[in-house]
Amino acid sequence: MLIRLILFLNICLILATCLGYMASYIDPSSMSLPQVAGLFMPWLLALNLVFILFWGTLRKKWILLSALTILLGLGQISRFIGWHFDQEVSNPTLSICTFNSESYNRSNHLEKFAEAIKPMDPIQVFCLQEISSDRIEELRKHIDLPNIYAHRGKVILSQFPIIRQGNLQFNQTVNGCIWVDLDVDGSEVRIYNVHLHSNQVSRDAETIIENINTDKVQAITKIRHMVGNYKRATIERNKQVQKILSHVKSTGHPVILAGDLNDTPFSYTYQQFKSLLQDQFRTTGLGIGTTYAGELPGLKIDYIFADNHFESQSHQILKTKISDHFPLLSYIKLKN
């Protein structure tokens, strides 16, 4: 009887995992449930591994259920787990870093930040999200990048001269997109710095973790609230993505897009960007691609994308907790 119950749970898990795989291809405005499953994909995949180990120890044929489920999604799993051990950097065109700074809301944040980015030097282009205007000048004391464009909590700092600049503002919040055209050794390169609509799930996750042992009813209520927020946010992000991609398609020169998408690699949001640009983690990343350092573990929501004018040489996630996000760094070479 116990084995039958475990088998039933395994089948339910497989259905949820397959639903998560579908999230990349289903518009959230038509069906949002796959997007919710996509949010939990790291844990769903981990649970499938647990079932593989369980059935393996019992030498049961049911081991094939989760094993085949993972094999089915290997293409999508490579968006979250990188296998690229060779990351030799030779004469890159530029190095670009993106970082959601969590508004620098800690007293010693800048000192920690300056110390954290030392291993990443030199950074030639820096995209930041959630940075208040009064902190920008303070930031420039630690980063020697003379050219700057900032708008509503987003900033691009560059070693290269800025030819043009602009923004796509979605509302009156910090969410939006700014862009600059840079003169990179005689070639024009468009850089987008993106911060999409937030899920607001991190605060709910903190409350759930606090209440899970003391107030289970409150924890369950918060879980429902968190899922509801995510459903609504995916629909809003899809509208923002379409606006950004329309702008990207009208660009006549090489494009790099970086920032906080607030969505996972299994999402419809990610798939829309991936259809036009290359995820630098998937191209040259190594290890588990977690970029969120908050209470909800296992999330990859920050990215650096580049179009096919570029060749990726290296991609790093700096696992230092100076914000609720980790900084990302890519070395990219412009093809001849």
- The dihedral formed by the CA atoms of 81, 85, 89 and 90, expressed in degrees to the nearest 10: -130
State the Cα angle at 257 between 322 and 293, rounded to 5°.
25
pLDDT for 32 equals: 81
pLDDT for 262 equals: 92
Dump pLDDT digits (tens) for 287-322. 888 999 877 778 899 999 999 999 998 999 988 878
Over 60: is that where the pLDDT of 209 sits? Answer: no
State the pLDDT confidence band at 97, using cuts at 50, 70 and 90. very high
Class of domain 87-199+228-334: alpha beta
State the pLDDT confidence band at 210, using cuts at 50, 70 and 90. low
Over 90: is that where the pLDDT of 139 sits? Answer: no
Over 70: is that where the pLDDT of 41 sits? Answer: yes
State the pLDDT confidence band at 213, using cuts at 50, 70 and 90. low
Full-model pTM: 0.89
Count Cβ atoms within 10 A of the Cβ of residue 336 and give its class: 0-12 exposed, 13-18 middle, 19 or more buried.
exposed
Q: Highest mean pLDDT: which of 108-112, 158-162, 332-336?
A: 158-162
CA proximity to 152, closest of 136, 137, 130, 134: 130
Dump pLDDT digits (tens) for 324-334. 889 999 999 99
Over 90: is that where the pLDDT of 223 sits? Answer: no
CA proximity to 269, closest of 196, 178, 326, 201: 196
pLDDT for 169 equals: 84
d(CA 158, CA 161): 7
The token duo for 251 is: 């660009």
Pairing of strands 328-334, 162-169: unpaired
